[in-house]
Amino acid sequence: MSNILLYKPGLRDGSENELPNIGMAVVAASIREHGDSIVVQDKHFYRGDYPCYPPIIDFVGMSLVSQEWCLEQTQTFLDACCEMHYPVIIGGAHAFSYLEFLEKDERIWKVVVGEVDGQWDKVINSKDKVVFLDKPDKLITPDFSDFVGIENMKAYPLYTSRGCTNSHCSFCVAGKGHGKYRKRDYGEAINELVNIGRYPSVKKIYIVDDCFTGDIEFAKQVLDTYLSLDLDKRYELQIINVRADQLDYEILRMIKKCGVKFLPIGVESADHEVFKHVGKGESLEDIRKATDMMQEIGITPWLNMITGLPYDNPERNLNSIKWCCSIPQPRIIHWFQMAPFRKTKAYDYFLEQGSFEDGFIPSAYGRRYDDFPWESDFETKDFSKKERMLANLEGYLRCLSPILVNSQEKVQKTCIENSMGDLYEDWRDNARIQEYVEKNLPDKKEKHQVG
């Protein structure tokens, strides 16, 4: 039996997310199935001083997204493992996207590409530095019991499927890594749902599927069981990802009955030219129809947008903003700065444009809500860094997003310096700032996402 430490660095903003990492929990379940001993330290979930290392460590596993690779704590931890002669295994999205670079790092024992579900023995027994795993026979139930601080878990991440029905979006590395949509065994998913009760501190459940409505009848079955078990009376439910073209009135009514207040949809861009090159496999008309249905039923649509996608420029981004503003209130519009990750079409596009050299990793901006406006760390000939920053800020201002209150002084200063004072005044007069401060700001502060 081996003693294994699984380690995930926290984001550099110092935030504590109430959700433990579900990928680490799947790895933990596979390790337990193999008969090994394990401790999981997810620093983004829990940062407190805690006795968190087993007395003897045979292996260290790290699951990374690429932005975490650049953190000082990641590199310090790797160096310490090397000095202690701990073999280190790297997996996660970063291993998939930046494999060729990790393969050359002498501090790393093995790099795992693929899903570990039930395949830990293949990882340990392989003699290769790079271990490619086949798609697992089934998606296994995650195990959070060995996470440091799990007794204080406030929200539970549940997945009922993995992968997406459309893996062609130009910007999305998750679609490439997870691949095609696959359902979990219904009985196992429901059993996990029932057993959330063993964590008495949990008050919320997040369905974190890449595409929860990938099989709409399956999704309805899960929601129907959730309601029949009266879990809507015990927990607050949030659903992270749905596709607009996979919604109908029946499932939206079920979602509403489960207590869901808002529903996120990825739009990315509403400029027709930029949207066409994203490759979403749905239309802006599909998205508008979905937002209409949500509002009719009483669910607030949450639209996720991206500033600076391939073929984007200030004029096209403004077209996207105006489309978003045409959606009546209530609505939530969130604007991300484009983050190009390796092995996506968007990355290749910007690489060919000469925006950066191969191996580029985007900065971990977009995490601190008191650091608006967010700067871009790359540009194209049609969209400079400054233009990207101002366009992103303009999206929040015109869409009257109250979240800007977290950095109001910096926002106001930027607007005055760039002849956007009228937009700032309109935002200040019309955004639902007081409602946000009362309902949402306490949660952001608890997670240390704002000062």
pLDDT of residue 106: 96
Asked whether residue 114 is assigned to any structural domain, the reply reads: yes
Which tokens sit at 329? Answer: 């209130």
- On whether both 163 and 126 belong to a single domain, the answer is no
Full-prediction pTM beyond 0.85? Answer: yes
pLDDT beyond 70 at 310: yes
Asked whether residue 147 is assigned to any structural domain, the reply reads: no
Which band of pLDDT confidence, cut at 50, 70 and 90, is reported for residue 9? confident
pLDDT beyond 60 at 194: yes
Q: What is the CATH number of the domain that holds 173?
A: 3.80.30.20
pLDDT of residue 364: 66
- Indicate the residue among 77, 99, 132 that finishes a domain: 132
The percentage of residues in the chain with a pLDDT greater than 90, rounded to a whole number, is: 80
- Indicate the residue among 132, 162, 193 that finishes a domain: 132
- On whether both 179 and 297 belong to a single domain, the answer is yes
Between 135-144, 193-202, 360-369, the lowest mean confidence (pLDDT) is in 360-369
What's the rounded Cα separation, in Å, for the pair 231 and 219?
16
- The single residue listed with the structure tokens 């369905």 is 207
The percentage of residues in the chain with a pLDDT greater than 70, rounded to a whole number, is: 94
Asked whether residue 140 is assigned to any structural domain, the reply reads: no
What's the rounded Cα separation, in Å, for the pair 64 and 74?
9
Q: Look at the alpha carbons of 163, 396, 308, 246 in this order and tell me if their dihedral is positive or negative.
A: positive
pLDDT beyond 70 at 411: yes
Q: How many domains does the chain have?
A: 2
Domain interval for residue 57:
3-132
Asked whether residue 211 is assigned to any structural domain, the reply reads: yes
Q: What is the CATH number of the domain that holds 46?
A: 3.40.50.280
pLDDT beyond 60 at 297: yes
Asked whether residue 146 is assigned to any structural domain, the reply reads: no
Which band of pLDDT confidence, cut at 50, 70 and 90, is reported for residue 13? low
Residue 339 Cα to chain centre, angstroms:
12
Q: Residue by residue, what is the 3-state secondary structure of the chain? A: CCEEEEEECCCCCCCCCCCCCHHHHHHHHHHHHHCCEEEEEECCCCCCCCCCCCCCCCEEEEECCHHHHCCHHHHHHHHHHHHCCCCEEEECHHHHHCHHHHCCCCCCCEEEECCCCCCHHHHHHCCCCEEECCCCCCCCCCCCCCECCHHHCCEEEECCEECECCCCCCCCHHHHHHCECEECCHHHHHHHHHHHHHCCCCCEEEECCCCCCCCHHHHHHHHHHHHHCCHHHCCEEEECCECHHHCCHHHHHHHHHCCCCEEEEEEECCCHHHHHHHCCCCCHHHHHHHHHHHHHHCCEEEEEEEECCCCCCHHHHHHHHHHHHCCCCCCEEEEEECCCCCCCHHHHHHHHHCCCCCCCCCCCCCCCCCCCCCCCCCCECCECHHHHHHHHHHHHHHCCCHHHHHHHHHHHHHHHHCCCHHHHHHHHHHCCHHHHHHHCHHHHHHCCCCC
pLDDT of residue 373: 92
Model pLDDT for residues 30-86, shown as the tens digit of each residue: 999 999 999 999 988 887 765 566 678 999 999 998 988 988 889 999 999 999 999
Asked whether residue 214 is assigned to any structural domain, the reply reads: yes
Model pLDDT for residues 153-162, shown as the tens digit of each residue: 999 999 999 9
Q: Which residue has the higher pLDDT, 174 or 144?
A: 144
pLDDT beyond 90 at 272: yes
Q: Which residue has the higher pLDDT, 71 or 288?
A: 288
What's the rounded Cα separation, in Å, for the pair 73 and 367?
17
- On whether both 28 and 105 belong to a single domain, the answer is yes
Asked whether residue 66 is assigned to any structural domain, the reply reads: yes
What's the rounded Cα separation, in Å, for the pair 97 and 144?
26
Per the CB < 8 A criterion, the answer to whether 392 and 373 are in contact is: yes
Asked whether residue 55 is assigned to any structural domain, the reply reads: yes
Mean pLDDT of 86-103: 96
Mean pLDDT of 356-383: 85
Average pLDDT, the chain: 92
Q: Which residues are registered as beta bridge partners of 61?
A: 6, 89
Non-local (6+) Cβ contacts of 240 within 8 A are 206, 207, 208, 209, 212, 264
Which band of pLDDT confidence, cut at 50, 70 and 90, is reported for residue 12? low
Model pLDDT for residues 196-222, shown as the tens digit of each residue: 999 999 999 999 999 999 999 999 999
CA 179, 181, 185 angle in degrees (round to 5)? 125
pLDDT of residue 372: 87
